[in-house]
Structure formats: C-alpha cells, structure tokens
Structure 1
Amino acid sequence: MPELPDVEGFREVLASCAQGKRIKRVEVNDAGVLHGVSAGRLSRDLEGRRFGEPERHGKWLLARTDGPTVMLHFGMTGQLVCCRETDPPHPHDRVVFTVGRDHLSYRDQRKLQGLWLADDADVARILHDQGPDAMSVDRAEFDELLSRRRSRIKSALTDQSVLAGLGNLLADEILWRARLHSERPADELTDDERRRLHTEMRRTLRSSVRAGRVPTRKSWLTGRRDDPNPTCPRCDGPLNRKRVGGRGTVWCPRCQPARS
C-alpha cells in the first residue's frame, strides 16, 4: 500500500511532469475512481487550467490548479505515472491528463480510492479529520498526541486522525528501530521512549523519501519480514508475526520486549 514516501514520490512526479503546464485534455477511462464529481464535470472544470505546485498531506496528494484542486488518494494499488503521448495505453490507467506532450496518468488496479475535485473549502473539510503530517510534526506535538492515546502504539501510529502518512510497513519499521513493542499502550510510554520513537520516525521517513518508497534492504525490517523464516537485522534472532489491530505485524521479541 502506498505510504507517505510513495505519495511524496508521486508529488515529485506531478511536479516534474505537469507543474506550470496547461491541461489540454482530461480522459476518464473509468469513472469508478471519481468521488463526488462526474467525468464530464471533471473535464469541463479542468481543461484549459494549469497545474500549480503540488502539495502532500500524509497519504493525500493535492494537485493544485489555477482553479479547483484535484485530490488524490492511492488506496492499495494506486500510483501516478508520467508517460509520453506516444506511449501505449495501460489497462489500469483510470484518468489521464494530457499536459503538453506528456500524459499524467492515475493508474490503479483495485480502485479502492481515487480522485476528488475540490475547492478550498472542500480541501479543508476532507483534511479536517487528518492528524498532522508525520514528516513535519515536531517533538512537542508528537508527545501531546501520543500521551493522550490509550490505544496500542502501533494502532496510534497508523491512525490517520492521530498522525497522517504512516502505514503498516512504516509503523513496524519505526517501532523496531525504536525497540518498542507494537502492543505497548501509547499513553504508557516514557518521555525517553517517545523521544526515541520520534527520532526514529524522522530518520526512517527521511531515508524512505530519498528511496521513493519504504526500502526492502536486508538491513531494514521491511527487507526481512516476508522471508520464509525471517530473522532480525539487528540481533539475527527469529522475528514474530501476529495480527495487531487487524494488521499483519512483525517484530523482534528480543529487541522489542513487551515491557521495557
């Protein structure tokens, strides 16, 4: 599933492919990815407009124009792809924006999320229930958010109303790096544990954004979690698997004890 680093990569695709360019044509190949707007209105309201500087908040991408904003959420399998006008069409290209000689395509196999057409009030309404962006939240706000949550720490990290942008892979990676068990209650963490968690979250996100995704390096938990008999990159001990809050969770029982 696309998480914050992936969406930041899509923001860069949008900026390099379309920023400042006029939208010559909008082709909707599958209206099933549109939310609250028809294919005809999407085309009418966007054709002739220019894309401005895109923004990201958590897992949301905001494609600003000199008119309305296109809000994109990528669900499980969505992505944003820049193609040449002469490239063959892809079967999962649901909406295609022609900008100059390029095509900017919203490509999605499973169609679990999609596109919204929003004015400023709509953008504020849709993002109202989102927590602060995980890349920009400072230590004081991070402490305040977690200290009042009674849920398990992994559930708090992946709750978009608490902190926007973290998904299953990132949460497991960050908790492993911070040596914290995923089932620890968030409000029981010590000041030192929250400090360590915030530091490792920032480090993990910076590395993931540079890579354009959550890396699958063998020095990362994400590079081991799908092995047949996964072992910890730090201590080489066996990793455990369990569902926590409905999510497949991987951790090292030696490095991440249930109690500190």
Structure 2
Amino acid sequence: MPELPDVEGFRQTLASCGTGRRIERVQVADPGVLHGVSARRLRRDLEGHRFTDPERHGKWLLARTDGPTVLLHFGMTGRLDCCSPSDPPHPHDRVVFDVDHEQLRYRDQRKLQGIWLADGPAVEKILAEQGPDALDVGRAEFEELLSGRRGRIKAVLTDQSVIAGLGNLLADEILWRAKLPPGRRAADLGSAERRRLHTEMRRVLRSSVRAGCVPPRNSWLTGRRDDPDPTCPRCGGHLRRSRMGGRSTVWCPRCQPEG
C-alpha cells in the first residue's frame, strides 16, 4: 500500500517527467477512477497546459499545472510511472498523460481512490480533513496532536486527520523502534515516550523516503513481518500478529511490553 515514502517517489517521478512539459493528450482508459470530473472535462481542461512543480501532502500527490490541479491518491495499489509511448500498455493503466515524448501513467489495480481535478480553493477543500504532513510536523506540534487522544496509538498514527502520510507499515515500524506497544492509549503516553516516538518517526521517514518505500530490510520489522514464523530483528523473540482497527498489526511483545 503506497504510504508517504512511495508518494514522495511518485512526486519525484512527476517532477522529472512532467515539470515544464506540455500536456499534449489525456487518455482515460477507465473513468471509474475519476472523482467529480468526467473524462471529457479532464481532457478539455488539461490538454495544452503545462505541468509545474508538483507537491505532496501525506498520501496525496498534487500535480500542479498552469491551469487546474490534478490530485492523485493511490489507495492500496496505485502508482505513477514515467514511460515511453512505445512501452506496452499495462492492463491496469487507468489514465495516461502524454507529455512531449513521454507518458505519465496512473496505474491502479483495485481502484480504491483515483484522480480529482480542482482549482484554487477547491484544492484546499479536498485536503481540509488532512492533518499536518508527517515529514514536516515538529516535536511540539506532534506532542500536542497526541495529547488527549483516547484511541490506541497505532490507530492515532494512521488517522490521516491527525497526521497525514503514515500507513500500516510505517506505524508498525515506528512503534517497534520506539519500543511502544500498538495497543497503548495515546493519551497514556508520557512526555518522554512522545518525544521518542517523534524521533523514531523522523528517522524511519528519512530512511524510507531515500529508499522510495518502507524498505523490507532484514534489520527492520518490515523485513520480517511477512515471514512464516517472524522473529524480532532486535531481540530474536517471536513477533505477534493481530488486527487492530481492521489493520494487520505486527509487534514484538518482548521489546514492546504492555506494562
């Protein structure tokens, strides 16, 4: 599932493949990924415009142009690729933007999110329910966001209205590094625990952004969580797996004790 590091990678793809380039043609293979805009209007309002510098907020990619803004959300299986027009089409290519001699292809198997088109204030309206971006939030703001939250810390971290950009893999990795159990109530964390959590969040995000994903390294929880009998990279104990808030959750009961 694309999380902040993946979407930051897609932003870089868009910046290198699209910035300054004229949108010559918009091909909509599947209008089912379009939200609040028809395929005809998407083509009419974008063709002839140029992509400008793209932005990212949480899991949202803002493809700015010298006209309207294209907002992309990648759901669980979406991605953005820069391809040559001669590259064979993929069965899950939903929308293709022809730019000069290349193509930006929005590809998504499950189609759980998709593409929006907006101008000015409408962009802010779409993003209004998003919390601050996880890569930008400072320690004091982070502690304030967590204080008073009654939910479990795993659920709070993955709530996009609290902090934007963290998903399942990131939250589990951050909590494991901070030695905090995912089932702890956010409001019960002490100041030192909140500071440690913010520090580990920054470290995990920086490494993941460099890798373009949450890297499945053997020294990371992410690299062990899908093993048949997963063990902790830190202590060697058996990892525990359950569902919290409908999400698959993995943690080490020895390194992340409930007490």
With the shorter chain as reference, the TM-score category is over 0.9
| 1:59 equivalent in structure 2 | 59
Q: Quick one: distance in 2 between partners of 1:74 and 1:173?
A: 21
SS at 1:65 equivalent: coil
Deviation at 1:122, TM superposition (A): 1.2
Deviation at 1:246, TM superposition (A): 1.1
| 1:80 equivalent in structure 2 | 80
Q: Quick one: distance in 2 between partners of 1:76 and 1:120?
A: 27
| 1:124 equivalent in structure 2 | 124
Residue type of the alignment partner of 2:189: L
Moved over 6 A (4+): none
Unaligned stretches of 5+ in structure 2? none
| 2:9 equivalent in structure 1 | 9
Q: Quick one: distance in 1 between partners of 2:126 and 2:44?
A: 22
1:233 pairs with 2:233 = yes
Deviation at 1:89, TM superposition (A): 1.3
Q: How many residues align?
A: 259
- Residues 12-161 of structure 1 mapped to structure 2, 5 A cutoff: 12-161=12-161
Q: Quick one: distance in 2 between partners of 1:74 and 1:246?
A: 19
SS at 1:187 equivalent: helix
SS at 1:170 equivalent: helix
| 1:194 equivalent in structure 2 | 194
Q: Quick one: distance in 1 between partners of 2:122 and 2:6?
A: 24
Q: What TM-score, normalized to structure 2?
A: 0.99
Residue type of the alignment partner of 1:11: R
SS at 2:136 equivalent: coil
Q: Quick one: distance in 2 between partners of 1:77 and 1:208?
A: 18
Residue type of the alignment partner of 2:210: R
| 2:205 equivalent in structure 1 | 205
Q: What TM-score, normalized to structure 1?
A: 0.99
Q: Quick one: distance in 1 between partners of 2:146 and 2:158?
A: 12
Residue type of the alignment partner of 1:78: G
Deviation at 1:43, TM superposition (A): 0.2
Deviation at 1:245, TM superposition (A): 1.2
Which deviations, in whole Å up to 9, do the C-alpha atoms of 1:101-144 show, x marking residues without a partner? 00000001111110000111111111111000000000010000
Which deviations, in whole Å up to 9, do the C-alpha atoms of 1:21-40 show, x marking residues without a partner? 00000000000000000000
Q: CA RMSD in A?
A: 0.5
Which deviations, in whole Å up to 9, do the C-alpha atoms of 1:69-98 show, x marking residues without a partner? 000000010000000121111111100000
Residue type of the alignment partner of 1:249: T
SS at 1:165 equivalent: coil
Q: Quick one: distance in 1 between partners of 2:148 and 2:28?
A: 44
Which deviations, in whole Å up to 9, do the C-alpha atoms of 1:201-253 show, x marking residues without a partner? 00000000000000001100000000011000000010011111111110000
SS at 1:24 equivalent: strand
SS at 2:43 equivalent: helix
